[in-house]
Structure 1
Amino acid sequence: MTASALGRKPRIALMGEFSAGKSTLSNLLMGVRPLPEKVTATRLSPVWITYGNEEPYRVDVQGFVEPISISQLEQVPVEDTRYVHLSIEADILEVCDLIDFPGISDPNMSSDVWERMLPEVDAVIWCTHANQAWRQSEAAVWESMPQSVRDNSILLITRYDKLTTERDRMRVFKRVTRETAGMFGGTFPISLLQAIKAGEDYDLWDASGAGPFTEHLIDTIERLTKLTARTELPLYNFAHAADVPPAVQAPVVPRRVQRRPDPAEAPLLLGDDTHEDAISAPTLRET
């Protein structure tokens, strides 16, 4: 059973500073580039991506909807646009929506452009660059997030392969986990490009850090599906997940994670392994 059968889908934001790897992350998760190669993502409004094949449109700050051309995204007026909506037939979008935020550190863009979309968010995958991981500016933005969002969010230390020694990698990981204690549901070092290049090689996939990250993401989507089945309000509106009102109808117990003994035979499953809607990990990492 897909998330849509239980209520609205969880909404997961992709956030981070400029050049932290958000575009590569969206490519990894959806198996396609959601934006044309030439588009500079930092000069876009938040991009809300859902499953389907609808024509793209923008929603302005007053709530009016206007059709747009994907080839002319950079002409969309950023300051007057609440978000751009795109539809893609990617498997992960069957169980959640992704909201791609612009880089929070762009000095040429008002923070209003992305701050006004935060109340739509249930969880965040935050990308922080390994060479300058968890800067003060990132911590300042994260400080305003309610605990209900933090508990379901993931911190990715991206470009981890750029740290050339094990000593450096451990030093960065320990510092970041210490400074963000209690702020995220999970923290994972990862090389996104290596994950995309891994193809069906499970050893390379896990070595890139993508294996532990995607398994945690699947668990997070499962947990969020239970929570969002209880309310139409995003979790951002609640100080703690415990504040979410009880479900009017008890949600169907959603999918489980299972890696079969021989990965050559079958991949990690996202879903009931007897159900036609089950989604496999390679679907999250096709190029």
Structure 2
Amino acid sequence: MTQVDKASRKPCIALMGEFSAGKSTLANLLIGSDPLPVQVIATQLPPVWISHGDAPAFRVDLDGNQFAIDLDNLAEAPLDETAYIKIFCDEELLLQCDLLDMPGISDPNMSSEVWQRMISKADGVLWCSHATQAWRQSEAAVWASLPPDLYQRSLLLLTRIDKITSERDRQKLIRRVRAETEGLFLQCLPISLLQATAEQDDYDVWLKSGAEDFAKHLVDLLHSLSEDGAVGPEGQSLPEAAKPLRISGLVAPDSAPAPPPAPAPQTAAPQIMPRRVRLSPSPQDRACARDGAPGRPS
């Protein structure tokens, strides 16, 4: 993809890793909704491109032709004829970037061409590596085959870090992977994707999940890509007012109990205010909203 092409659209962040490393769980967490039907959990799918909007889903064949597709029957898309499936969600993060959920790189029943032909669309990568077998030789080999200009636009996530119960073992793992991937990613970040959503009433547990650290680095990455020339959804440069970004699925609980609300006047009806979380590089900038639970695991 040429620089002109990349400057004509929002940044596209590819979600990559081996099969069952958590890519689609991450996608659902990021956008705070369930874009992929539960019934395709174990189904092989071509790349799924997620953009902002409410248009019907469609698939794009290898020649660029578009065909309508039922969102509940994505498995009908023929792998050998489909470049990608396009779906739309009305979530704020998708105003700032598109997500590209790639198939697992290690799936023996799927040719690597299925995802290789789409990698040129990616401006950055979130690479998921299962913590219990992190940064396998097969992952390192695939990453080494990708364009080097992705290295400083990508984050390595050690997913399911909660499966390693010993803090000593966790730190040993993180040191090893960071040493082996030095210079290959912007950051190597441990995270428990399930804890990030399941423990939203306990700030200490949520913080320990790695969600806040990941959110900060992702926001920084998107800002950097936007400043490099990406444009907003209406073709205008992304305004400074768009910062800080809100990432609906990464919901930070309050670090301290909120004071009790003042009693409403007896003549007035009770007022119910929605809570939302506004994530930014500043740890003090939190205001929360609870969106849906993550959809299909991968």
Normalization by structure 1: what TM-score?
Answer: 0.81
Mind listing any 5+ residue stretches in structure 1 that lack a counterpart?
Answer: 1-5, 231-248, 274-278
| Conservation of the 8 A alpha-carbon contact between 1:46 and 1:102 | yes
Matches for 1:7-86 after TM superposition, within 5 Å: 8-40=9-41, 43-86=44-87
| Conservation of the 8 A alpha-carbon contact between 2:278 and 2:288 | no
Compute the RMSD of aligned alpha carbons.
Answer: 2.9
- The Cα of 1:57 is off from its aligned counterpart by 0.2
SS in 2 for 1:154: strand
SS in 2 for 1:66: strand
| Conservation of the 8 A alpha-carbon contact between 2:45 and 2:74 | yes
The CA deviation string for residues 160-203 of structure 1, in whole angstroms up to 9 with x for no partner, is 01112112111111110000000001111011100011225432
Q: What residue identity is the alignment partner of 1:36?
A: P
| Conservation of the 8 A alpha-carbon contact between 2:93 and 2:245 | no
- The Cα of 1:41 is off from its aligned counterpart by 6.0
Q: What residue identity is the alignment partner of 1:104?
A: I
Larger RCO (CA within 8 A; separation ≥ 6): 2
2-side partners of 1:20 and 1:272: how far apart?
A: 26
Identity %: 47
Comparing 29-38 and 210-219, the one that deviates more: 29-38
Comparing 181-190 and 32-41, the one that deviates more: 32-41
| Conservation of the 8 A alpha-carbon contact between 1:28 and 1:284 | no
| Conservation of the 8 A alpha-carbon contact between 2:33 and 2:291 | no
2-side partners of 1:206 and 1:8: how far apart?
A: 33
1-side partners of 2:67 and 2:245: how far apart?
A: 40
Alignment-derived partner of residue 237 in structure 1: none
Matches for 1:135-284 after TM superposition, within 5 Å: 135-199=136-200, 201-229=202-230, 252-253=239-240, 255-256=243-244, 269-270=278-279, 282=288
| Conservation of the 8 A alpha-carbon contact between 1:21 and 1:158 | yes
2-side partners of 1:11 and 1:201: how far apart?
A: 32
Alignment-derived partner of residue 131 in structure 1: 132
Alignment-derived partner of residue 101 in structure 1: 102
Q: Report which of the two structures shows the higher radius of gyration computed on alpha carbons.
A: 2
The CA deviation string for residues 120-179 of structure 1, in whole angstroms up to 9 with x for no partner, is 000000000011000011011111223321101010001101112112111111110000
| Conservation of the 8 A alpha-carbon contact between 1:192 and 1:210 | yes
Q: What residue identity is the alignment partner of 2:52?
A: Y
- The Cα of 1:229 is off from its aligned counterpart by 2.9
Q: What residue identity is the alignment partner of 1:269?
A: R
2-side partners of 1:179 and 1:63: how far apart?
A: 39
Specify whether residues 176 and 98 from structure 1 end up closer, same or farther in structure 2 by C-alpha distance, changes over 3 A only: same
- The Cα of 1:84 is off from its aligned counterpart by 0.1
- The Cα of 1:28 is off from its aligned counterpart by 1.1
SS in 2 for 1:183: coil
Alignment-derived partner of residue 117 in structure 2: 116
Specify whether residues 38 and 121 from structure 1 end up closer, same or farther in structure 2 by C-alpha distance, changes over 3 A only: same
Normalization by structure 2: what TM-score?
Answer: 0.78
| Conservation of the 8 A alpha-carbon contact between 2:216 and 2:281 | no
SS in 1 for 2:64: coil
| Conservation of the 8 A alpha-carbon contact between 1:200 and 1:282 | no
